[in-house]
Amino acid sequence: MSASDLAPNHSSGPENSADPENSTDTDTRLTGEHRKERFTISAKTYWRIVLVALILLCVIVLTGAAVRLTGSGLGCSDWPNCETGKLISVSDGHQAVEQLNRLFTGAVSAGVIAAVLGAFRRRPYDRGLVYLSLGLVAGVLAQAVLGGISVLTELNPIAVGGHFGLSMVLVCAATVLLWRSGDHGPRGSESNAHGAIWLSWVTMAVGTIVLGITGPMLTGTGPHAGDLDAKRIQMAIPDAARIHSLSAWLFLGLLVALVFSLWQRGAHRILMRAYPLLVAVLIQGGIGYAQYNLGIPAWLVILHIAGATAITIAATWFHTGLLHDAATVPIRDTATGSPSQRGTPAGESPAGIGSPSE
């Protein structure tokens, strides 16, 4: 008997024999997963898709303003058709302006649908992005319905104001989605500013009143109704202007106080996002006073609407960044692995004992 006869045979035995069926199933599964992952996009690509969606949402705010400022709000007397039995009609200039605005809704719809599909295929996958993008789709659908209500009620100022307010909500939501799609480093990088979060919430709430209530109220009393026969809010323009102006000054005062608070706390990264917002508010105030004193010319009104859109983006970007950078991170007990000091700023140990973690 030779040594080779005593050596174990590794080429035989149930554990080493090839199973054709198992091998085929594994190959099929791997092939399916490979095909599935082929249709994915990077985080950077998705960020660009959301940016396009945000731009489209901003543009349709301006096309909607153009409809009102050119007196084309009832250029189409029906909805969703332009005229009875006609989906599209451009028999005059007013109809053409209104039709352009309606058709551009298709581009906006495509943009937000792309954001939804991209959220599902983005890698790494983030469920929060899916929910936010679905919210945009729901908002665009609601906006189309509200636009129809505005036409069917012959440009009721409350319906028109709600139409604009919902536009600002969509711009805000798209800005949050854009922020969430990017990479902004770890949360709590400037947790020393955590105490300013409450003031930021108050400031944003007042800003919402300015953009969503007192602004549309003033618009509803003004001359640019979208049609000569449209109903107006029964309030004197100077009275509505004073209410809007006071709310805007309150917003500016709170914003200045917030900036000062962040400066005292040394939150320099957050301040870099606050300065553009502050500048935008100051410019918007100047445009507002100019258009009132010059008799509310249409070209200044559309600049004012563009400014409101810019402020919505800047305020949302600033506040979302503040919540991210000023967040507090629980300190975990190294022995138990559980939070031992909730609310302690990131990088600091409880009661100031020890050195910041790196």
Tokens 């919902």, located at residue:
166
Q: What is the number of alpha carbons within 13 Å of residue 315 lying toward its C-beta? A: 29
Residue 19 makes CB contacts below 8 A (sequence gap 6+) with none
- Phi first, then psi: what are they for 290, rounded to 5°? -65, -45
CA distance linking residue 197 with residue 193, whole number of Å: 7
Q: Alpha-carbon distance 60 to 53, whole Å?
A: 11
| Helix residue ranges per DSSP H, 182-297 | 197-209, 215-221, 237-264, 268-293
Q: Report the pLDDT value the prediction gives residue 88, as an integer from 0 to 100.
A: 78
Residue 229, classified by CB atoms within 10 Å of its CB into exposed (0-12), middle (13-18) or buried (19+), is exposed
SS3 category, 86: strand
Cβ–Cβ under 8 Å, residues 228 and 71:
yes
Amino acid present at 350? P
Spell out the per-residue pLDDT of the chain, length 358, in tens.
444 454 445 444 444 445 555 655 555 555 555 555 678 999 999 999 999 999 999 999 999 998 888 888 877 777 777 777 677 776 777 788 888 888 888 999 999 999 999 999 999 999 999 999 999 999 999 998 998 898 888 889 999 999 999 999 999 999 999 999 998 888 888 989 999 999 999 999 999 999 999 999 999 998 887 777 788 898 999 999 999 999 999 999 999 999 999 999 999 999 999 999 999 999 999 999 999 999 999 899 999 999 999 999 999 999 999 999 998 765 444 444 444 433 433 333 333 323 333 3
Per-residue model confidence (pLDDT) at position 168: 97
SS3 percent helix, strand, coil of the chain, rounded to 5, is: 70, 5, 30
Rounded Cα distance between 61 and 101, Å, is: 9
Please state, in angstroms and rounded to a whole number, the distance separating the CA atoms of residues 26 and 133: 35
Residue 107 contacts residue 155 (beta carbons within 8 Å): no
**0.75 surpassed by pTM:** yes
Distance of alpha carbon 118 from alpha carbon 40, whole angstroms: 8
Q: Identify the pLDDT of residue 185.
A: 84
